[in-house]
Amino acid sequence: MTERPGDQATDIDEWPLWEVFVRAKRGLNHVHVGSLHAPDAQMAIRNARDLYTRRQEGVSIWVLPADQISASSPDEKDAFFDPAADKIYRHPTFYHVPDGVEHL
Amino acid sequence: MTADIGNARADDRVVSPADVVAYALRLGDDALVYAQRMGGWIAAAPQLEEDVALGNIGLDLLGQARSFLTYAGELEGAGRDEDDLAYLRDERDFVNAQIFELPNGDFAFTVARMLVTSAYQVELYTRLATSGDATIAAIAAKAVKEVDYHRDHATQWMLRLGDGTDESHRRMVRALEDVWPYVGELFESDDLTARLTEAGVAADPGSLEDATLEYVAGVLAEATLEVPNTHVHHRGGRRGVHTEHMGYLLAELQYLHRSHPGASW
């Protein structure tokens, strides 16, 4: 009991990064809310509870190891996304929707 | 508030409001002093995430303390509110168990203490949720969900540190040896708890011991640790006798209010 708090501080690199997804209420999707460090998945969920849901923001939490996420490259942004900009025929706006069809 | 007690009690014996005040002060002081200790970890925990976790636990405890101290003040009828009770009493007036006032030590000690105190509070509040005193029952029913999470947090860390590296195991063994002499006081009954248990208001401290220690021992076994074998047994907190650390804790807790009476922001 002679040590001061912080003596045990470990290198932050030792704890992997986790991405956190929170579902605000039943029926909604889990939405990415941020990231955190934790030693393992169980602790990541608990840390996420304290960091991201302590003001009642959610009813369900997912965590993913950040290094397990494959992402599109910013360098390929033009090739990936720009060609979609002038293809308005890909939007279903040229069809006549019969009366009485709901939820479209 | 006395009517609540009178109407809800299990038998026809009169429950002394002074007894309920004294009991609520014990519950409130445990939570208040412990909240102050948890606040001491903010910006000092091993990781930012743990700062927030321990800070949240401290805020849960502070909420419990406010409820119990407010109730004690109302029932006392001397015009004291939660702030008066928290900031203007002196060391000998505090009736928390000594385990709550011990310095945080290293992270292992904080985890070892939290495992014991939260396991105790889960048993205590579960029982108090059916107290014949409606106010104590309501506070306990809300608090039991909070301390259940504290117990889970301490359990997770105990498993990882006890069954972790040689260094974390060594520190946890020492932490348990440091905390154990203060565990027994939690389960000591006295005249006050005997009267209030009889009246259906309090939970007999002695009756909480088996379930509390069974939980703790189970976690320790899984964490490759043993329950310490100690013959030292500190006591006195319930009578206002405290460790040498208590004065420093109160100085920090009470300084602002005493220097600037009635300050708010």
pLDDT single digits (tens) A43-94: 999 999 999 998 888 999 999 999 999 988 888 888 888 888 788 777 777 7
| pLDDT of res. B169 | 98
Closest approach of B241 to chain A, Cα-based (Å) = 21
Q: For residues A98 and A30, what is the distance between their CA atoms, to the nearest angstrom? A: 34
Question: B34: burial class by Cβ within 10 Å (0-12, 13-18, 19+)?
Answer: buried
Band of residue A104 on the pLDDT scale cut at 50, 70, 90? low
Nearest to B182 by CA among B110, B98, B241: B98
Cβ distance A46 to B152 less than 8 Å, yes or no, reads yes
Give B260's DSSP letter. Answer: S
Residue B104 CB partners (closer than 8 Å, separation 6+): A5, B37, B40, B41, B110
Q: Which residues of A touch B44 (CB under 8 A)?
A: 4-6
Asked if B52 and A12 come within 8 Å (Cβ–Cβ), the reply is no
Residues B45, A1: C-beta atoms closer than 8 Å = no
Note whether ipTM > 0.85 here. Answer: no
Min Cα–Cα distance to chain A from B175, Å: 8
Q: Which two tokens mark B246?
A: 């208590």
Q: What is the pLDDT of residue A45?
A: 95
Residues shown for chain A: 104
What was the pLDDT predicted at A61? Answer: 96
Of A1, A40, A42, the CB nearest to B105: A1
Q: What pLDDT is stored for residue A13 in this prediction?
A: 57
Q: Do B52 and A38 touch (CB under 8 A)?
A: no
Residue with tokens 């299990």: B10
Per-residue pLDDT of chain B (265 residues; tens, 9 = 90+): 444 554 444 455 679 999 999 999 999 999 999 999 999 999 999 888 999 999 999 999 999 999 999 999 999 999 999 999 999 999 999 999 999 999 999 999 999 999 999 999 999 999 999 999 999 999 999 999 999 999 999 999 999 999 999 999 999 999 999 999 999 999 999 999 999 999 999 999 999 999 999 999 999 999 999 999 988 999 999 999 999 999 999 999 999 999 998 788 7
DSSP character at residue B106: S
* CA A65 remoteness from chain centre: 11
Q: Above 90 in pLDDT, residue A103? A: no
Residue B225's Cβ-side half-sphere holds a number of Cα atoms within 13 Å equal to 32
- Does residue A6 register a pLDDT over 60? no
Per DSSP, what are the bridge partners of residue B228? Answer: none
d(C-alpha B17, C-alpha B131), whole Å: 15
Angle at B133 between CA B130 and CA B136, to 5 degrees: 75
Q: To the nearest 10°, report the CA torsion of B64, B68, B71, B73.
A: -120
Which of A2, A4, A7, A8 has the highest number of chain B CBs within 10 A, making it the mutation to test binding with B?
Answer: A8
Would you call A21 helix, strand, or coil by DSSP? strand
Tokens matching residue B94: 């505090």
Q: For B77-100, b where at least 16 C-beta lie within 10 A, e where not — what string?
A: eeebebbebbeebeeeebbbbbbb
CB nearest to B53's CB, from A1, A39, A47? A47
CB atoms within 10 A of CB B7: 9
Q: How many CB pairs under 8 A join A and B?
A: 55
Interface mutation target, options B56, B101, B106, chain A, most CBs of A under 10 Å: B106
Contact A5 B47 (CB under 8 A): no
User: Chain A within 8 Å of B47 (Cβ-Cβ)?
Assistant: yes
pLDDT of residue A91: 77
Closest-CA distance, A99 to chain B, in angstroms, reads: 52
pTM here?
Answer: 0.85
Residue A22 — pLDDT band, cuts 50, 70, 90?
very high
Task: Judge whether residue A2 has pLDDT over 80.
Answer: no
Tell me what pLDDT residue A93 has.
Answer: 74
Of B47, B49, B104, the CB nearest to A5: B104
pLDDT in the model for residue A85? 77
Residue B186: DSSP 8-state:
G
User: How much is the pLDDT for A97?
Assistant: 79
pLDDT of residue B63: 97
The pair of three-digit structure tokens given for residue B260, joined into one six-digit string = 């600037």
Q: Is B19 on the interface with A (CB under 8 A)?
A: no
Question: Residue A32: phi, psi to the nearest 5?
Answer: -65, 130
DSSP per residue over B9-72, as a string?
A: -SSSSPPPHHHHHHHHHHHHHHHHHHHHHHHTTTTTSSSHHHHHHHHHHHHHHHHHHHHHHHHH
Note the pLDDT of residue A52. Answer: 93
